[in-house]
Chain A
Amino acid sequence: MSKKRERLRVIYDILMIIKQHKNSIKPTPLLRYSNLSSQSFSEYFKELKEREFIKEVLDKKEKKFITLTDKGFEYLEKYKVISGFIEEFEL
């Protein structure tokens, strides 16, 4: 499997973890569930925020939570199409 495909899969996995936690998870458990090193996780986290797949929200106790944006949900929905397309055209 190619490096890039792995990257798309990692992004899918991170977004899926957030979705499976009722679209609200703290950064530390997200890191734990994602099975990534802290450095890799930080890179992916930064990328996901920049690409507006996720956003950080504060609850009433000022605690930070991560939630999916509409674009994040769209990615989850289209992931199979994207990976199928990349596979078909050997991209």
Chain B
Amino acid sequence: MPPRMMSLLGATYGMELVYSFLVIAICVIIYFETKQIYRLSSHKGLKYFRYTFLFFAISYLLKFISRLFLIENNVGNNGLLLLVLLLFTMYTYLMAGIYLVLSISWKKRKLGLLNKTFLWNLAAIIIVVLTIFLRFPLGYFLFQAIILIYGIFLLYPRYKKLKGKKDIPLIYVVYPFLLVFWIINILDLFISNFQITLQILIYLFSITLFLSILYKVIKKINIRR
């Protein structure tokens, strides 16, 4: 491999490592910061909110490991391991976005089946299996796009009611972007020659979104502590 390619690959590894570490750290902090209030309230929305960040943390860890395998292009005897890793990465990543939407939808009883977690889990498993075995990543992105639209559909009427109010909760800005970047962030798992500048921009924007949520979580949890 030419030296320039080697250094570029090294930079990609390093960047991916730092980015994954930051996202995992932020998500784990959010998960543990909200542990006490969930233990006391047993609130379903809080449970889904925590699951969102738990699943993000797991998926980013698995994604990093999977990408190492893919970049190395040295699958060899580890083909089955890579397949399992990919299955779990894609499933946990999908569920992270789904739990985010469920955290705001669960109260709407009229949504009926759309609030059933086992159905979402089942749908996620089917989508992941089809994506991998039929080599159809478009199906995965389409499913993510549907969840993004569903999330915006849930948030918009609430946002309209809040218009004119002084303090609009952060989620109305952050959640739609988080879901958009949730779609963009998985692209690099399928597209190996992603442009490095574009990748850096995606990482920076994603980190900003996660940090803004972490800031709000810490601010809210530590009131009068």
Neighbouring A residues of B223 by C-beta, 8 Å = 80-81, 84
Given A2-B107, A80-B224, A88 and B169 contact (CB-CB distance below 8 Å) = yes
Indicate if the CB atoms of B40 and A74 lie closer than 8 Å. Answer: yes
Chain B, interface size category, equals 20 to 34
Among B44, B171, B221, contact of A81 (Cβ-Cβ < 8 Å): B221
Neighbouring B residues of A8 by C-beta, 8 Å = 41, 43
User: Which residue of chain B lies nearest to A11 when distances are taken between CB atoms in the complex?
Assistant: B41
B197 contacts A by Cβ under 8 Å: no
Indicate if the CB atoms of B49 and A89 lie closer than 8 Å. Answer: yes
Interface residue count on the A side (C-beta < 8 Å): 20
Neighbouring A residues of B37 by C-beta, 8 Å = 78, 81-82, 85
Q: Mark B92-136, 1 if CB is under 8 A from A, else 0.
A: 000000000001100100000000000000000000000000000
User: Which residue of chain A lies nearest to B47 when distances are taken between CB atoms in the complex?
Assistant: A91
Q: Do most interface residues of chain B lie in helix, strand or loop, or is the interface mixed? A: helix
Given A81-B37, A81-B224, A88 and B170 contact (CB-CB distance below 8 Å) = yes
Indicate if the CB atoms of A90 and B220 lie closer than 8 Å. Answer: no
Q: How far is the CB of B54 from chain A (nearest CB, A)?
A: 15
Q: How far is the CA of A51 from the CA of B36 in the complex (A)?
A: 14
B176 contacts A by Cβ under 8 Å: no
Residue ranges of B at the interface with A (Cβ–Cβ < 8 Å): 34, 36-37, 40-46, 48-49, 103-104, 107, 158, 169-171, 216-217, 220-221, 223-224
Residue ranges of A at the interface with B (Cβ–Cβ < 8 Å): 2-4, 8, 51, 71, 74-75, 78, 80-82, 84-91
